[in-house]
Amino acid sequence: MAIKNKKIIKNKNKTIESRENRGMVPDFPAKLVQSLADEVARTVVSRLPSMIPHRAPRAKKTIKIESAIFLDTSAIIDGRVFDLVNLGVLTGTFVIPESILLELKHIADSQDMVKRERGRKGLALLDKLKKTRGIKVSHVPDKNGQGSPKEVDDKLIEIAKNQKGRLITCDYNLEKKASISGDLAININTIANHLKIKAVPGEALHIRVLHVGKDLTQGVGYLDDGTMLVVENASTDVGKDVDVIVSRVIQTSAGRILFSKKI
């Protein structure tokens, strides 16, 4: 009996050895195998995001606007720039940033009647410009968004610089600030001053007397550019056209004043 048991054990060992030699793996319970597979799958999935390289999002390229002309709020409300556009003096694409439109709307909604009328006038002029045939008007959002702490002028200067465009304004401080930043800034008031009539003493003019001057003997008229012309001894000529000769010119902080005598 002992010899028989030894043979059985010997045969069993040979069978196991034979399985190992053939690369066979002992059987495992199906539930254990499934549990191990699930655990491996969860580990791989959790580590996948860190294993996949992520590319940084590409920055959006700024779309270049050809011959861009930027109008600030003061130039829009002033209105003279639109006369230059209609004459063909200013050509290009007129760009209105979102911040300028919001500022105009805020002025148009003001409780102050004067501000409200100025704001509405500016919006009406912009709408007319947009509908004018042959003129390109572009509306662009602010690069930094509406919630940006930057002031409207700073946003306008930045976008004008990025687009290498011209900035049209009636604001002296904005003109200087833009020039310092490297922008091409054009002040409508500067253009108007260069176009003023250069009357000199001894020059003869034809003028309509509109009202009495500070001195009750004086009459006052205006040249086409708005320059005041004081006429001596013309208080009785209010409402009439008279010929005068310029006697002297005075430069004040408010502009030039011409004094003249009737011919």
Q: Which residues of the chain have pLDDT under 50?
A: 2, 4-5, 7, 23, 147-149
Within-domain flag for 13: no
How do residues 215-237 score in pLDDT, each as one tens digit?
A: 899 999 998 778 899 999 999 99
Q: Report CA dihedral (83, 89, 90, 91) to the nearest 10 degrees.
A: 120
Q: For the chain, what is the mean pLDDT?
A: 82
Q: Is 175 in the same domain as 219?
A: no
Q: Structure tokens of 125?
A: 């002029």
Q: Percentage of the chain surpassing pLDDT 90?
A: 50
Q: Is 133 in the same domain as 215?
A: no
Which residue range forms the structural domain that includes residue 237? 204-262
Report which of 99, 119, 123 is spatially closest to residue 111, judged by C-alpha positions. 119
Q: Is 85 in the same domain as 185?
A: yes
Specify the pLDDT at position 93.
94
How do residues 94-132 score in pLDDT, each as one tens digit?
A: 999 999 999 999 999 999 998 999 999 999 999 999 999
Specify the pLDDT at position 149.
45
Count how many domains the chain has. Answer: 2
Within-domain flag for 160: yes
Compute the radius of gyration of the chain from its Cα atoms.
42
Within-domain flag for 35: no
Report which of 210, 252, 253, 254 is spatially closest to residue 229, judged by C-alpha positions. 210
Specify the pLDDT at position 44.
65
How far is CA 148 from its chain centroid? 13
Q: Structure tokens of 202?
A: 């001894």
How do residues 143-156 score in pLDDT, each as one tens digit?
A: 655 544 468 899 99
Measured CA distances, 47 to 34, 38, 44, 240 (Å): 20, 14, 5, 94
